[in-house]
Amino acid sequence: MDERKEKKTLIIGCSIIKGIDANKVGKDVSIRTNRGATVPTLTEKIKKSNIKHYKSIILVVGGNDASSRIHPEAFKEKYDDMIKTVKSINPDIDIAVSEICPRRNVDTEIYNAILHSVSTEHNVNIIKQTDAFVPRGGDLVSSYLHHDGIHLPNSGTILLLRNINRVVNIFNQTNNESNEQHSKRQSIANTFNGICFKSGFYGHHCKDCHTL
């Protein structure tokens, strides 16, 4: 398969996206996980990658930078540089920036505020994550985080994908996808609210969960 012909959207980021199942998104979506990536290291990865054929790119990175307690101004400077790098390689690409998902080892609020500012300055889309992980006026839902307090279990990955799909359609049908395959993907996209976040499985609600 020639990826340049098949793939239209690139999801690239740190290990926060490692749980994404390629079979759960559209066939025209490519996923590149870079374990331990920070904004600068991901920028270097992008420089060495061929992104000229993509129509859109989703940047999911920044959590490791936040955990290192990088100075906010330095964080902004490095994220600016990453977006400029993407645009210099592919001026026509649509860029979407994902908020940093909540994590227990650092307060991500100031860094996410910077991401909103950077997105506005560069006229790119922002993907909100925090509001979904932290109910209004409440605490972070523990089942959305792995026991390490950083990475995402299946339930958290589902939520991440739902939030991405609200901004960039990652469950779309390609020309080579059958109607049956498309229906299955669309079912996933449309029924997130019915997924059991206790077990992380599809097809039942938490109140009906019998998983031990």
> Which residues touch 23 (CB under 8 Å, ≥6 apart)?
none
Contact between 10 and 30 under an 8 Å Cβ cutoff? The reply is yes
Class of 3-208 per CATH?
Answer: alpha beta
66 vs 72: CA distance, rounded Å? 9
- The whole-number average pLDDT for the span 103-116 is 95
211 vs 60: CA distance, rounded Å? 31
Helix (H) or strand (E) holding 10: strand 9-13
Domain ranges of the chain: 3-208
Of residues 167 and 187, more confidence is placed in: 167
Query: Which residue type does 205 have?
Result: H
Tell me, what's the pLDDT at 6? Answer: 52
- When pLDDT is cut at 50, 70 and 90, the band that residue 17 belongs to is very high
Backbone angles phi, psi at 186, to 5 degrees: -70, -35
Least confident window among 31-35, 123-127, 151-155, 189-193: 189-193
- 94 pLDDT more than 90: yes
Tell me, what's the pLDDT at 23? Answer: 87
Of residues 59 and 147, more confidence is placed in: 59
- When pLDDT is cut at 50, 70 and 90, the band that residue 175 belongs to is very low
- 34 pLDDT more than 50: yes
Tell me, what's the pLDDT at 20? Answer: 94
Rounded to 5°, angle at Cα 92 from 28 and 42 = 70
Backbone angles phi, psi at 30, to 5 degrees: -105, 140
- When pLDDT is cut at 50, 70 and 90, the band that residue 130 belongs to is very high
Tell me, what's the pLDDT at 212? Answer: 34
Q: Which two tokens stand for residue 82?
A: 């990453």
Q: Among residues of the chain, what percentage have pLDDT more than 70?
A: 77
